[in-house]
Amino acid sequence: MKLHTLKPAAGSVKTNKRLGRGQGSGGTTAGRGHKGAKSRSGYSKKFGFEGGQMPLQRRVPKFGFKNNNKEYFKAVNLDVLETLAAKSSDISLQFLIDNGIVGKNDKVKVLGRGELKAKINVQAHAFSETAVKAIEKAGGSTTKI
């Protein structure tokens, strides 16, 4: 057996009938059957039309609500800030972006998971109460942008 000798199994591949191309494609009706919209030229069914049956996009209900005014924050915890404290004591938004912690369009909220031993100055859009207490307890400061 070689690549150039491979062929599909006998009868497994058939050519499609070219409908609407004259007598040769199925007698007088050219393979389109008798009458009705599908036999006419220019026919195209509406997208999602299921023959009058209730279509899928109307059968399946929508759920939920998207609030366009909600502010979404990217959470950064104290344990992450503790690892970054080895590089710098001033942790700004640009510093977080440069280190790949947040994206350039993200709003940052500092949360209080983990322990903080280093004295750091943190800039962010929002802080949780526990994060502010932990940062100030370690001798650092918080600044809202």
Establish if 14 belongs to a structural domain.
Answer: no
pTM of the prediction? Answer: 0.57
Both 40 and 98 in one domain: the answer is: no
Q: How many distinct structural domains can be found in the chain?
A: 2
Both 45 and 78 in one domain: the answer is: no
Establish if 57 belongs to a structural domain.
Answer: yes
- Give 122: exposed, middle or buried? Use CB within 10 Å, 0-12, 13-18, 19+: buried
Selection from 123, 121, 122, 116 nearest residue 137 by Cα: 116
Percent of the chain with pLDDT over 90: 73
CB 48 within 8 A of CB 57: yes
pLDDT at 63 over 90: no
Establish if 126 belongs to a structural domain.
Answer: yes
| Per-residue pLDDT reduced to its tens digit, 16-44 | 888 888 888 878 888 888 999 889 989 89
Both 98 and 80 in one domain: the answer is: yes
The helix/strand/coil state of 132 is helix
Selection from 106, 108, 113, 109 nearest residue 83 by Cα: 113
- Give the distance between the most distant pair of CA atoms in the chain: 92
Domain that holds residue 86: 73-144
Both 57 and 93 in one domain: the answer is: no
pLDDT at 81 over 90: yes
Q: Using CA of residue 85, residue 91, residue 96, residue 97, what is the dihedral sign? A: negative
